[in-house]
Amino acid sequence: MNKKRLTWLIIILLIVIIQFIPNRKPEVILSNENDLIYNNKLPESVENILRTSCYDCHSNESKYPWYSYIAPVSWLVVRDIKVGREELNFSEWESQSKMDKAKNIDKIIDEVSEGNMPMPIYTLMHSEAKLSEDARQQFADWADNYAESLFE
C-alpha cells in the first residue's frame, strides 16, 4: 500500500470513528406556550424574519439540516444551538420579566442593526436567512416599538 492510500484510509477511518462520539442535540419542542410569536400579534414580515433568520438557534423549534447528523459539522451545529438558546430563547420569551425583555430587545436591535446576527456561518448554509438592510431596519423598528409599548 502506498503512502497516499494509507493517508486516505486513516482519514476515512477517523471520520467513521468520530461519528460514534456522543453529541446530543438540543431537543426540538414545537409547541411552546411562552413563545413570542404564539403570544403576540406580529406583522407577517417580522414573523417571517424570526422564523427564517432566528428561530433555528434562538428557539426550541430548531430544524436540523442533514449535515447536522455528520461529525465534525454536527459538533458546531449543536454548540451554536446550545449557546444560542442559552443567550436568547424566543420559545420562552413570555416567561421573562419586563426588565429582561427590555435588556434583550436592546441587545437584539444592536446585534441585528450592526449585522452580527444572523451569524455569517449560519447564512452561509442558509442563504434565505440573509437579511437586507431594509429587512434589518424593519425588524429593528418593530422591536423598538414593541419594547416601547411594554413601558407605556
Where does this chain bind other proteins (CB under 8 A)?
Answer: 97-100, 102-107, 110, 144, 147-148, 150-152
Let me know how long the chain is: 152
Return the C-alpha cell found at 49. 424574519
Closest approach, Cβ 99 to other proteins, in A, equals: 5
d(CA 38, CA 141): 20
57, 117 contact by CB (below 8 A):
no
Of 20 and 151, the one with the shorter C-beta distance to other proteins is 151
125, 26 contact by CB (below 8 A):
no
Of 2 and 97, the one with the shorter C-beta distance to other proteins is 97
Of 65 and 115, the one with the shorter C-beta distance to other proteins is 115
Closest approach, Cβ 100 to other proteins, in A, equals: 6
Closest approach, Cβ 102 to other proteins, in A, equals: 4
d(CA 91, CA 89): 5
